[in-house]
Amino acid sequence: MNFSSKLVDLFCESKERRQFNQALESKYRRLYRLAFAWCHQSFMAEDLVQETLLKAIESRKDLNSLEHLDAWLTKIMHNQFLDNMRFNRRWEWADEAEIDDHLVVDCSETELIKKQTAEQFYDAIAKLPFAQREAITLADLQGFSYQEIAEITATPIGTVMSRIARGRERLRTLLQHHDVNQPNVVSLRRK
């Protein structure tokens, strides 16, 4: 083989390679849509298409004709998808937000504050007269309307509204003064 025939071979191979690369570029969007339909996650679909195109470039000599490119690429992507699923079988896919929510843990101070707040609230509710406590818990915790509470407690709706209003005001007062009465709490508000 002489120099000129080697140059012709290189030029032909380069032209073929260029045509093949252009054909691959034109199929990217179709492959991505199909990959996204299979994966339902954009980052996985992008990775799958990238891996498919890489395998296609590596084994381009196996393709007989560009007419069969769609089927050939789809077969490569299908096999790659199954390989990925087999490899990741032990891993469960989750949204990033779910992972973040799962991994984020409140610090011990935050947990203590939440616990103390709940205890203060329960203590304040316990100090209310039963009628007010009943009306407030039915309205605010159970979500019943004033009319439903009136029917449940067999009291006039005006009485229910009055009990809820007075009970909420009493709760507000109890919760505001609760911190002031604690020996180890320094109040930031003026009395």
Instruction: Locate 133 and state its tokens.
Output: 């406590």
Which residue in the block uniquely carries the two structure tokens 């087999």? 86
Model pLDDT, residue 103: 55
Instruction: Locate 172 and state its tokens.
Output: 């507000």
Model pLDDT, residue 8: 46
Residue type, 170: R
Model pLDDT, residue 170: 93
Model pLDDT, residue 17: 78
What domains can you pick out in the chain, each with its CATH number? 7-89 (1.10.1740.10), 108-180 (1.10.10.10)
Per-block mean pLDDT, blocks of 10 residues, the chain (191 long): 50 70 86 84 90 88 79 86 77 60 68 86 87 87 88 92 94 78 54 51
Instruction: Locate 15 and state its tokens.
Output: 């032209």
Distance CA 129, CA 140 (A): 16
pTM above 0.75, yes or no: no
Instruction: Locate 66 and state its tokens.
Output: 């560009």
What is the 8-class DSSP label of residue 54?
A: H
Of 158, 153, 156, 157, give the one whose Cα is nearest residue 133: 153
Model pLDDT, residue 98: 62
For residue 37, give Cα distances in angstroms to 40, 46, 177.
6, 12, 58
Contact 147, 157 (CB under 8 A): yes
Model pLDDT, residue 114: 86
Taking the CA atoms of residue 176, residue 180, residue 182 and residue 186 in that order, the dihedral angle to the nearest 10 degrees is 120
